[in-house]
Structure 1
């Protein structure tokens, strides 16, 4: 299998930037995709997991009704329902797609 295909598969199926690091041996270029995506996921999971835990406990205890509108309002009040998470998801998606495309093109191009 060509290194470019191997790199694109690593970057597309596992995590962005891994194809650059493992198949192409270009760690700095891989970090351009890996770090923003990892930081974005850390931001999202750091904010969403405590919120989901709190809301699920309130649902089980009966202090929160299982109403989608009320749940959406609680998410919006927590700060995880605004534009921030959407922008972070957009950055992660662009990094993921960009990593696949760049690893395929970088692997196909001759190295200086």
Structure 2
């Protein structure tokens, strides 16, 4: 299998930017890996903050331990704020960009 094919598949299937290591382009890989990791951190922070809030409400008795009510509360929490939308967009752009960049780098070789 060609290095280009490996790089594209690794970037597409595992994590954005990892395929650049196959092409020996570590600095370029960091251009995709670092923003993706930061965006994942934002999404995790938002998700864990909501989970912590829900657990506190359940423990205090303000929210009964009823699945439909908890799901309704999650929907009402509005997890689609600007930071989560931007973080999701960064992940998608980095993922597609790393695939296209890995393909483009080895196109002429």
* Fold shared, TM-score > 0.5 on shorter chain: yes
RMSD (Å) for aligned C-alpha atoms? 2.1
Deviates most, 28-37 or 50-59: 50-59
1:103, CA displacement in angstroms? Answer: 0.6
Scaled by the length of structure 2, the TM-score of the pair is: 0.81
What residue number does 1:72 align with?
75
What residue number does 2:5 align with?
5
Is residue 4–residue 24 contact of structure 1 (8 Å, CA) maintained in 2? yes
1:98, CA displacement in angstroms? Answer: 0.8
Is residue 42–residue 83 contact of structure 2 (8 Å, CA) maintained in 1? no
Q: Which runs of 5+ in 2 are unaligned?
A: none
Report matched runs for 1:67-106 at 5 Å.
68-73=71-76, 75-76=77-78, 80-106=79-105
Supply the distance in 1 between the matched residues of 2:41 and 2:74 (Cα, whole angstroms): 23
What residue number does 1:24 align with?
23
Runs of 4+ in 1 over 6 A off after TM superposition: none
Is residue 16–residue 100 contact of structure 1 (8 Å, CA) maintained in 2? yes
